[in-house]
């Protein structure tokens, strides 16, 4: 039977997806912009099964074994498999296995990479090799992890907040356009207490959400221009403002969500100190405690060294701009 394995990358959002017009279909309130990563990836193997089998969903353990995933994640995977079958006009069932190269459910976009990999692997197993990227990005968005729509593409990606048929990731610039680095300070590795999906639901209860949506168009323009001109001095303040805004909305939602930890604050202080010392680096944070520090290649060693020296940092992941998903081997099973 047909079996396909895909590595799909995580991404770090410069302009965040936070709050949805239609959460079931992951239709965002605002346009978002991200940088596709290279090293932080999810590998997914999808195999078509003979008729009469039920879908099987497995998570690969570090020792090569497998376990059943948490119920919520498994339910989301099964729902997306149903969606992929309807799209393809097929009835076969699947055996699915996934493995992440980085901590899961810790605010590092493992949902984006996971559902992008699932979408592409199942499409491949179904023989849909000639499907346009735009369509695959739309299918990934419909998984419920909207950011997966951005992880289907490489380089710098924009996901516009428009109608359902056109709301998917589109490439702003290829990976080799700008050699940015993402030095990730991991201060927590366990799953976050409040999922991003729940955060999207609560965003509408924050009194600050309308203000963010009001000021966002100008910030989006700054980020687009910074990417086009490869201008870190323009990009950096915009992504720091955006990260703070996301967490202001989370903290002022009802009930409030506090993703930051003492380690988060310690890393943010260190990034400010680095800039005072002449190292050009800027911090952004997705829905979690861990901090992404964006810099250019010549500053990566200085940034990593400083972050690794902090007692609040468990370890550091060095990443860069990636070209996007690719088929790979060996299969997970």
Instruction: Compute the distance between CA of residue 248 and CA of residue 209 in angstroms, rounded to an integer.
Output: 9
Q: Chunk the chain into consecutive blocks of 10 residues (it has 333) and report each block's average pLDDT, rounded to whole numbers.
A: 92 97 93 97 95 89 87 94 96 95 78 97 95 96 94 98 90 98 94 92 98 98 98 98 98 98 98 98 97 98 98 97 96 94
Which contiguous run of DSSP H or E holds residue 135?
helix 133-141
| Residue 186 and residue 155 share a domain | no
Q: What one-character DSSP code corresponds to residue 62?
A: T
Provide the residue range defining the domain that includes 40. 3-177
The dihedral through the CA atoms of 171, 158, 23, 245 has a sign that is positive
Instruction: Compute the distance between CA of residue 263 and CA of residue 136 in angstroms, rounded to an integer.
Output: 37
As for how many domains the chain has, the answer is: 2
**Tens-place pLDDT, residues 78-134:** 999 999 999 999 999 999 999 999 887 666 879 999 999 999 999 999 999 899 999
Instruction: Compute the distance between CA of residue 273 and CA of residue 234 in angstroms, rounded to an integer.
Output: 19
Q: Helix H segments across 164-261?
A: 196-203, 209-229, 232-251
| Residue 244 and residue 151 share a domain | no
Which contiguous run of DSSP H or E holds residue 283?
strand 281-284
Token reading at 279 = 């190292």
Query: 328 lies in a domain?
Result: no
Regarding pTM above 0.85, the answer is: yes
Query: 143 lies in a domain?
Result: yes
| Residue 145 and residue 264 share a domain | no
Supply the DSSP string of 225-242, one letter for each residue: HHHHHT-HHHHHHHHHHH
| Domain of residue 74, CATH code | 3.30.230.10
């Amino acid at each position: 039977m047909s079996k396909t394995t895909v590595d799909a990358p995580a991404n770090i959002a410069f302009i965040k997806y936070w709050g949805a017009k239609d959460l079931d279909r992951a239709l965002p309130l605002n346009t978002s912009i991200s940088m596709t990563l290279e090293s932080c990836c999810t590998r997914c193997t999808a195999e078509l099964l003979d008729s009469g089998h039920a879908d099987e969903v497995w998570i690969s353990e570090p020792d090569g074994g497998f376990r059943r995933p948490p119920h919520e994640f498994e339910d989301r995977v099964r729902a997306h498999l149903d969606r992929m079958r309807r799209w393809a006009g097929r009835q076969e069932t699947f055996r699915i296995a996934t493995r992440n190269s980085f901590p899961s459910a810790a605010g590092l976009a493992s949902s984006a990479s996971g559902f992008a990999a699932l979408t592409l692997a199942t499409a491949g197993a179904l023989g849909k090799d000639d499907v346009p990227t735009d369509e695959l990005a739309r299918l990934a968005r419909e998984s419920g992890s909207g950011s997966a729509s951005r992880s289907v593409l490489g380089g710098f990606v924009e996901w516009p907040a428009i109608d359902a048929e056109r709301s998917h990731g589109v490439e702003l610039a290829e990976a080799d356009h700008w050699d940015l680095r993402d030095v990730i300070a991991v201060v927590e590795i366990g799953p976050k207490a409040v999922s991003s999906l729940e955060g999207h639901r609560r965003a509408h209860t924050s009194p600050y959400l309308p203000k963010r949506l009001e000021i966002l168009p100008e910030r989006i323009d700054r980020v687009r221009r910074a990417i086009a001109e490869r201008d870190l001095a323009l990009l950096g303040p915009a992504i720091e403002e955006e990260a703070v805004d996301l967490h202001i909305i989370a903290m002022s939602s009802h009930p409030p969500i506090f993703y930051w930890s003492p380690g988060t604050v310690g890393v943010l202080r260190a990034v400010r100190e680095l800039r005072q010392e002449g190292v050009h680096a800027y911090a952004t944070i997705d829905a979690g405690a861990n901090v992404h520090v964006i810099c250019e290649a010549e500053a990566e060693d200085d940034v990593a060294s400083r972050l690794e020296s902090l007692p609040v940092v468990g370890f550091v992941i060095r990443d860069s701009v990636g070209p996007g998903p690719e088929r790979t081997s060996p299969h997970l099973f």
